[in-house]
């Protein structure tokens, strides 16, 4: 009989590939907005695409996922060509970039959750690792672009990962099928991001000394 990890490893690989493509496009598009050259765009794209997963794997004590296969670097190259070829057509679609960023956040959060659980860690660690996987790449991107990282603003970003991860935990604890739990957690994260931006929902802002 196949083990739990062997059963869900193909699904995890697909999620990481899709997340890499989504985040790479997001990073490259932000670099294009800053008028980076092609190499700078690729560096920004790859930093977003693999940054969170690399940090997660280092903390878990495993080989970073992108070092086990060249497909992730190839995926980033494909994303860059996609942005270059369709730059004029996509320039008018600002919501497209929000979609790719949200998609990457949800996909990588789920991937981080499942990989941490496969390594034998408890769920509270998995939620933290899922959040790091989903949001750390965006922090690296914003640092490279000299922007304030999105997760440090009042806009809901990392909190969407935390809520999605908690929902995933609750579903699994209730005996829900793992694949169904993954899909539901993914949808929750995406919906939280969409509604937070659409209705300007945010966390309270810290007040300094007046």
Q: For the residues 130-142, what does the mean pLDDT come to?
A: 91
pLDDT for residue 3: 47
For residues 100-108, average pLDDT: 85
What mean pLDDT is reported for the chain? 86
Percentage of residues of the chain with pLDDT beyond 90? 41
Query: Is the model's pLDDT at 93 over the cut of 70?
Result: no
Q: How far apart are CA 50 and CA 162, in angstroms?
A: 20
The predicted pLDDT at position 77 comes to: 94
Q: What DSSP assignment string belongs to 79-137?
A: HHHHHHHTHHHHTT-HHHHHHHHHHHHHHHHHHHHHHHHHTT--HHHHHHHHHHHHHHH
Average of per-residue pLDDT across 148-163? 84
**Average pLDDT rounded to a whole number, residues 92-97:** 65
Q: In this predicted structure, which of 47-61, 159-173, 192-206 has the lowest mean pLDDT?
A: 192-206
Supply the pTM of this predicted model: 0.85
What is the pLDDT at residue 91? 64
pLDDT digits (tens, 9 = 90+) for 40-79: 999 999 999 999 999 999 999 999 988 998 988 999 999 9
Instruction: Report how far apart, in Å, the C-alpha atoms of 86 and of each of 76, 129, 138, 174 are.
Output: 15, 34, 23, 45
Average pLDDT over every residue of 144-168: 87
What tokens appear for 184 in the block?
């539901």
How much of the chain exceeds pLDDT 70, in percent? 89
The predicted model gives 158-176 an average pLDDT of 92
- Write the DSSP string, the chain: ---HHHHHHHHHHHHHHHHHHHHHHHHHHHHHHTT--HHHHHHHHHHHHHHHHHHHHHHHTS--GGGS-THHHHHHHHHHHHHHHTHHHHTT-HHHHHHHHHHHHHHHHHHHHHHHHHTT--HHHHHHHHHHHHHHHHHHHHHHTT---GGGSSB-SHHHHHHHHHHHHHHHHTT--HHHHHHHHHHHHHHHHHHHHHTT-BPPPP----
Would you state the pLDDT for residue 152?
A: 80
């Amino acid at each position: 009989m196949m083990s739990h990890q062997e059963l869900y490893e193909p699904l995890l690989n697909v999620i990481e590939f899709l997340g890499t493509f989504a985040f790479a496009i997001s990073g490259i598009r932000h670099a294009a907005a800053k008028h980076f050259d092609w190499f700078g765009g690729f560096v920004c794209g790859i930093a977003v695409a693999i940054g969170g997963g690399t940090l997660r794997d280092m903390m878990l004590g495993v080989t970073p996922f992108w070092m086990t296969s060249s497909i992730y670097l190839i995926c980033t190259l494909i994303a860059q060509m996609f942005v270059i070829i369709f730059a004029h057509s996509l320039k008018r679609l600002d919501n497209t970039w929000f979609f790719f960023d949200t998609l990457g956040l949800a996909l990588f959060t789920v991937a981080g959750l499942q990989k941490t659980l496969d390594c034998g860690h408890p769920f509270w660690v998995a939620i933290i690792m899922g959040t790091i996987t989903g949001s750390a790449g965006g922090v690296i991107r914003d640092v490279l672009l000299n922007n304030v990282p999105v997760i440090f603003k009042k806009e809901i970003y990392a909190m969407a990962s935390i809520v999605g991860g908690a929902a995933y935990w609750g579903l699994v604890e209730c005996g829900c099928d793992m694949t169904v739990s993954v899909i539901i957690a993914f949808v929750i994260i995406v919906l939280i991001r969409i509604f937070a931006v659409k209705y300007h929902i945010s966390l309270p802002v810290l007040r300094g000394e007046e």
